[in-house]
Amino acid sequence: MKKILIVEDDVSIAVLQKDYLELADFEVEICEDGMKALNQIKTNKYDLLILDIMLPNINGFDILKSIQETKDIPVLLVSAKKDEIDKIKAFSLGADDYITKPFSPGELVARVKSHLNNYEKLKNKFGEKVKKDIIIIRGLEIRKNSRQVFINGNQVNLPQKEFELLLYLSENPNKVFGRDELFEKIWGMEALGDSSTVTVHVGRVREKIESSPSNPQYIETVWGAGYRLRV
């Protein structure tokens, strides 16, 4: 059940909105004070925020400005103000919608559903993209697009060939590759050097991602066969 916070100092309006949203199977809370609402938003998880602009202690614009960097949820601003400048300000601060009073509770419910559906679609789409771009193996995180590597949340710097070696192994987990095969895949047939280069680079990568390079938990040596990245 999606959880919604209504920040509205007119109790009769807030209760009416709450009743209609609850009939649509939403869980709803009401807050009448701007400062109290800001504290609730920062300490609780909500799926959508319905925020009046004119509030005691702190107005809706300031609340929106305060939470825009930390909260990723749809925000619907509500106001009796119909001036274009207020709408422009609302959207520039990150509001997803601007509803002018008076409005029907049915319209509010429809807008809430629409924004939640759109938000879910975007989140799922972005989530799938992230899954394709990021490989996570226990505490190891490899970000392909930005070519970054993190181990237990701490970034480690891998030069180009070290990164490509780690990425290739991670994209083919648990599969054993011989040194010659890895040299051909990463350095290419025309590269100068030989397959011993692979051993050197594996050692360098281990020094950066393994807590104990002599007892590796990620890149394992399969004696007589080569290397594999264990998941």
In this structure, are 44 and 106 located in the same domain? yes
Q: What's the distance, Cα to Cα, between the start and end of the chain in Å?
A: 35
In this structure, are 121 and 144 located in the same domain? no
| Structure token digits, residue 163 | 């990164």
In this structure, are 158 and 218 located in the same domain? yes
- What's the chain's average pLDDT? 87
Q: What is the extent of the structural domain holding 158? A: 138-229
Distance, CA of 50 to CA of 14 (rounded, Å): 10
Distance, CA of 32 to CA of 49 (rounded, Å): 13
List of the chain residues with pLDDT < 50: 130
| Structure token digits, residue 9 | 């100092």
In this structure, are 14 and 51 located in the same domain? yes
Helix, strand or coil for residue 80?
coil
Domain boundary among 69, 96, 131: 131
pLDDT in the model for residue 95? 86
Share of the chain above pLDDT 90, in %: 50
In this structure, are 48 and 145 located in the same domain? no
Give residue-wise pLDDT tens across range 97-145. 899 888 898 999 999 999 898 888 777 665 555 457 888 888 899 998 8
Distance, CA of 97 to CA of 112 (rounded, Å): 10
Distance, CA of 144 to CA of 167 (rounded, Å): 8
